[in-house]
Amino acid sequence: MPHKIAVVVPKYGLVGGGERFASEITERLAMNVQFEIHVFANNWVAHSDRITFHKIPKVYFPRFLGPLAFSWFVNQKISKLNFDLVHSHHWTLNADIYSAHGVPHVGWVRDVRKKNPSLYDRAVIATERKLIRDGGRSFFLPVSTLAMEAFRQEYEMLPGQWRVVHPGVEVARFAKPDRVECRNEIRQLYGIGDSDILLLFVGMNFEVKGLDTIITALAKARQLKPSANIRLLVVGRGDEAKYGKLAQSLDIADAVTFAGTQVKGLERYYRAADAFVLFSRYDTFGMVVLEAMAAGLPVIVSPNVGAKDLVEEGSNGYILPTQQDVEVAAGSMIELTDNARRAEMGEAASLTAAKHDWERLAEKMEGIYKEALSAKAGNLAGVTN
């Protein structure tokens, strides 16, 4: 008989890094005849007939009851269906495996949002603390060492087993489009010259993703090496007027192009660029970094981007000493104007991404499932004896 696996995530297959992680892995594991997969969610987009979905009611008001209600409803449904393993991608009352796509919520509110916790925040924090406190036999899987260290700093003790499991990437999607064709198409669309050095930014929150530092560093790099004609293409949603004014004040308005949100064909933008930049103030992982590497782009990231785990300094990219280090950022941009160096680093980035294909990650998760199942069986045998 296949093992019955419960997967918990509020929004399955919808927008978001955690949601993407959950659906990519779950649908691949569902093809394994050893597992019978059930997904518990508020909303979902189904792509496989091998997954059984269970609707979890959503409480909208009062808002602070939302996370508590979700955890309670999930626990009630799962307890009635005799599952062998529970894998949660969201804070819930209990789980055998928890994929931590963020950092401790209390730290996020205090250090990133810099606000006092609301009732909603307190509800999330309480659920999180219970899961960790009662997780002596659970597997906790933060997506980066950045996230792992955040949990270590927030909690005096981390019960259970903890190991970093990075997200994956659809390597073929980002590596396959013809680079020359994409360069011609995208660069002509935005009036970017073929010989221009094009930096690419992809993000949905310009402020958090450090676009101001990127633009400031770009101005410095262009000043130091004007002959390279380094340019920036911004893909995503944010306050274009604000950052356009910043570029104008630095006299580089013509070097910064805003392309808006690009849902379809995003891979063609990666293939049209020369390098990728992400200077986030805080990013638990940053899947766009891995997408860029899969497209063969060297990357420049801030030390607050979890995907720095995959960056080998000077080999496939650069990691800034601090998030706002404009001088070092500009220097890295200038180094990537060297065609031979850029090509070598892009090839190294491709090799790194190839090790993180979703298929490989699914195999890794399968191993963790079997390890958790074995551990549960051993614990059950111990209790029985």
Residue 384 has pLDDT above 80, yes or no: no
Q: What does the domain layout of the chain look like in residue ranges?
A: 3-168+357-384, 171-354
Residue 229 has pLDDT above 90, yes or no: yes
CATH value of 171-354 in 3.40.1410.10, 3.40.50.720, 3.40.50.2000, 3.30.420.40: 3.40.50.2000
Who contacts 215 (Cβ-Cβ below 8 Å, separation ≥6)? Answer: 232, 243, 246, 247, 250, 252, 256
The Cα 120–Cα 106 span in angstroms is 11
pLDDT at 383: 53
Q: Could you tell me which of 17, 10, 177 has the C-alpha nearest to residue 92?
A: 10
If pLDDT is split at 50, 70 and 90, which confidence band does 382 have?
A: low
Who contacts 194 (Cβ-Cβ below 8 Å, separation ≥6)? Answer: 183, 184, 187
Amino acid occupying residue 51: I
Tokens coding 238: 């944010």
pLDDT at 380: 56
The Cα 61–Cα 73 span in angstroms is 16
What is the C-alpha radius of gyration for the chain, rounded to an integer number of angstroms?
22
Is residue 303 within 8 Å of 323, Cβ to Cβ? yes
Q: Could you tell me which of 148, 174, 181, 178 has the C-alpha nearest to residue 353?
A: 174
- Stated as kind and residue range, the H or E segment containing 197 is strand 197-202
Torsional sign, CA 230, 231, 234, 238:
positive
Beta strands at 299-301 and 275-278: parallel, antiparallel or unpaired = parallel
Q: Could you tell me which of 77, 99, 104, 84 has the C-alpha nearest to residue 25?
A: 99
pLDDT at 94: 87
Q: Give pLDDT tens digits for 136-156.
A: 999 999 999 999 999 999 998
Beta strands at 97-100 and 139-142: parallel, antiparallel or unpaired = parallel
Global pTM value: 0.93
pLDDT at 189: 97
Q: What is the largest CA-CA distance in the chain?
A: 76
Residue 379 has pLDDT above 80, yes or no: no
pLDDT at 46: 83
Whether the domain at 3-168+357-384 and the domain at 171-354 fall into the same CATH topology: yes
The Cα 230–Cα 334 span in angstroms is 8
DSSP β-bridge partners for residue 207: none
- Region of poorest pLDDT, from 217-226, 238-247, 372-381: 372-381
- Region of poorest pLDDT, from 59-68, 183-192, 209-218: 59-68
Q: Give pLDDT tens digits for 250-308.
A: 999 999 999 999 988 999 999 999 999 999 999 999 999 999 999 999 999 999 999 99
- What is the pLDDT averaged over residues 96-106? 94
Is residue 320 within 8 Å of 328, Cβ to Cβ? yes
CA within 13 Å, CB half, 351 = 10
DSSP β-bridge partners for residue 327: none
- What is the pLDDT averaged over residues 366-380? 89
pLDDT at 298: 98
Q: Which CATH superfamily is domain 3-168+357-384 in?
A: Glycogen Phosphorylase B; (3.40.50.2000)
Is residue 140 within 8 Å of 161, Cβ to Cβ? yes
Residue 385 has pLDDT above 60, yes or no: no
- What is the pLDDT averaged over residues 35-59? 94
Quote the DSSP letter at residue 108: I
Peptide bond into 62 cis (omega under 30): yes
